[in-house]
Amino acid sequence: MALRQCVQIKLNDLIDSYGISKNNFNIVHMNMRSLRKKFWKARRAYNPDIIEICLSETFLYPNEHGRYILPNYTFVGDSRHTRCGGAGIYVRSGLVLRTVPVSLGGAGSLAMRFEDAGKGSLCVICIYCKPSSDAGVFLDSLELLLHSCGLKSTGDLNIAISKHSNLSQKYLNITSQYNFHHLITVPIPASHHTPKPALITC
């Protein structure tokens, strides 16, 4: 994978390099289900202390990337290839990041890399895995990704970890192995994907 070029870096070193306060290294994830219709949510999330706003299910085509502007941010998008999908990241102005090509089986993703000369890099990746995707294939590719790079991950993976199954246990084993911690600790409301409230991975 392309992300194997990354090496682990101490977050404190990266923060010092960019002049960011430790208390202000904030990354937000939002599942938009159409940025076109719900851009107001992204505007409401605007905060100068947030360095990245990661979006899944943007539903945007390439010619729409320049239409949804937030002050002091640059939008980087990975367009959808089907009726749904698409990922995007608003990056705070003044930060130098590179888009990193990454492939996850059955999922859309967008990765940005902070670089610090001589010390390595840190990747932030936004992932959306459709409920209809082959979760087993996705988890295999996710494990390879986590093994290859020091990164922070956000996204909507559509794996109900509150349901005890081989799939959810495999996911928890992978994230535990690479010291990932879930920030979502309460069940999400019922939706068209989950007819009952469920604890979904994010």
| Domain CATH for 92 | 3.60.10.10
151 lies in some domain: yes
Domain of 122? 2-177
Is the pLDDT reported for residue 78 higher than 90?
Answer: no
- In this prediction, residue 81 carries a pLDDT of 60
72 lies in some domain: yes
CB 69 within 8 A of CB 53: no
Number of domains present in the structure of the chain? 1
183 lies in some domain: no
SS3 state at 121 = strand
Q: Enter the pTM of the model.
A: 0.76
16 lies in some domain: yes
The identity of residue 158, as a single letter, is N
Tell me the CA distances in angstroms from 135 to 53, 82, 110, one per residue in order. 25, 19, 18
93 lies in some domain: yes
190 lies in some domain: no
Average pLDDT over residues 7-14: 42
Most confident of 98-107, 114-123, 176-185: 98-107
- In this prediction, residue 93 carries a pLDDT of 85
C-alpha count within 13 angstroms, C-beta hemisphere, residue 177: 12
% the chain with pLDDT above 90: 14
* Interatomic CA distance for residues 95 and 98, integer angstroms: 10
195 lies in some domain: no
200 lies in some domain: no
